[in-house]
Structure 1
Amino acid sequence: MQIGRAGAPVSHISHAYPDRVEVRGRDLCGDLMGRVGFTEYVHLLLTGREPTEDQRFFLDLLLVAIAEHGMMPTNVAARMTLAADPGSLQGAVAAGILGAGPVVLGTSEECARLLEQAQRRVAAGEQAAAVAADVARETHAAGGKLPGFGHPVHRPVDPRTERILELADARGVAGPHVLLARCLRDGVADTWGKPLPMNVAMAIAAVMLDLGFAPSVVKAVPILARTAGLLAHLAEERERPLGFLLAAGAEGAIVYEPGAPDGSG
Structure 2
Amino acid sequence: MNRSNWWKTSISDISPGIIRYHGYPVEQLISSEHVGMASMIWLMTRGELPTVPQARLLERALVAGVDHGPQAPSIAIARMAMTCGVGINSAMASATNVLGDVHGGAGQELMEIFRTILDDPRPLSEAVEAEIKRLRSDNRYVPGFGHRFHPVDPRRAPLVAAVETARDVGVVEGRHLEVALEIERQINLNRDRPIPMNIDGATAIIYAELGFEPVLGRGLFILSRSVGALAHAWEESQSSQRNKGPEHRSILPTYTGSPERAVP
Q: TM-score, normalised by structure 1?
A: 0.86
Q: 2:144, 2:201 within 8 Å by CA — same for their partners in 1?
A: yes
Distance 1:180 1:95, change over 3 A: same
What is the number of equivalent residue pairs in this alignment?
A: 251
Q: Which among 13, 16, 25 is matched to residue 15 of structure 1?
A: 13
- 1:242 is displaced (CA, Å) by 5.7
* Distance across 2 between alignment mates of 1:243 and 1:149: 37
Q: 2:183 aligned with 1:184, yes or no?
A: yes
Sequence identity of aligned pairs in percent?
Answer: 25
Q: 2:235 aligned with 1:236, yes or no?
A: yes
String of CA shifts for 1:156-197, please: whole Å, max 9, x gaps: x21211110012112323611111111111221238775211
Between 1:89-98 and 1:202-211, the stretch displaced more is 202-211
Question: Which residue in the other structure is 2:89 paired with?
Answer: 90
Q: 2:145, 2:184 within 8 Å by CA — same for their partners in 1?
A: yes
Q: 2:218 aligned with 1:219, yes or no?
A: yes
Q: Which among 126, 146, 149 is matched to residue 145 of structure 2?
A: 149
String of CA shifts for 1:202-223, please: whole Å, max 9, x gaps: 1111222122222232112211
| Code of the aligned partner of 1:234 | A
* Distance across 1 between alignment mates of 2:143 and 2:192: 17
Unaligned runs of 5+ in 2: 260-264
Question: Which residue in the other structure is 2:126 paired with?
Answer: 130
Q: 2:39, 2:55 within 8 Å by CA — same for their partners in 1?
A: yes
Three-state SS of the structure 2 residue aligned to 1:190 is coil
* Distance across 2 between alignment mates of 1:41 and 1:175: 24
Q: 1:79, 1:242 within 8 Å by CA — same for their partners in 2?
A: no
String of CA shifts for 1:22-73, please: whole Å, max 9, x gaps: 21111112x2112121111111111011012222011110111000111110
- 1:246 is displaced (CA, Å) by 4.2
Three-state SS of the structure 2 residue aligned to 1:78 is helix
* Distance across 2 between alignment mates of 1:194 and 1:9: 54
Q: 2:161 aligned with 1:166, yes or no?
A: yes
- 1:97 is displaced (CA, Å) by 0.1
Give runs of aligned pairs for residues 25-44 of structure 1, distance below 5 A.
Answer: 25-29=23-27, 31-35=28-32, 36-44=35-43
Distance 1:165 1:242, change over 3 A: farther
| Code of the aligned partner of 2:30 | M
Q: 1:82, 1:92 within 8 Å by CA — same for their partners in 2?
A: yes
Distance 1:143 1:247, change over 3 A: closer
Q: 2:61, 2:206 within 8 Å by CA — same for their partners in 1?
A: no
* Distance across 1 between alignment mates of 2:173 and 2:198: 17
* Distance across 1 between alignment mates of 2:138 and 2:22: 45
Distance 1:143 1:32, change over 3 A: same
Structure holding more helix per residue: 1
* Distance across 2 between alignment mates of 1:171 and 1:142: 35
* Distance across 1 between alignment mates of 2:204 and 2:64: 13
String of CA shifts for 1:196-253, please: whole Å, max 9, x gaps: 1111111111222122222232112211111111110011011125674443427725
* Distance across 1 between alignment mates of 2:129 and 2:252: 41
* Distance across 2 between alignment mates of 1:74 and 1:195: 27
* Distance across 2 between alignment mates of 1:242 and 1:163: 37
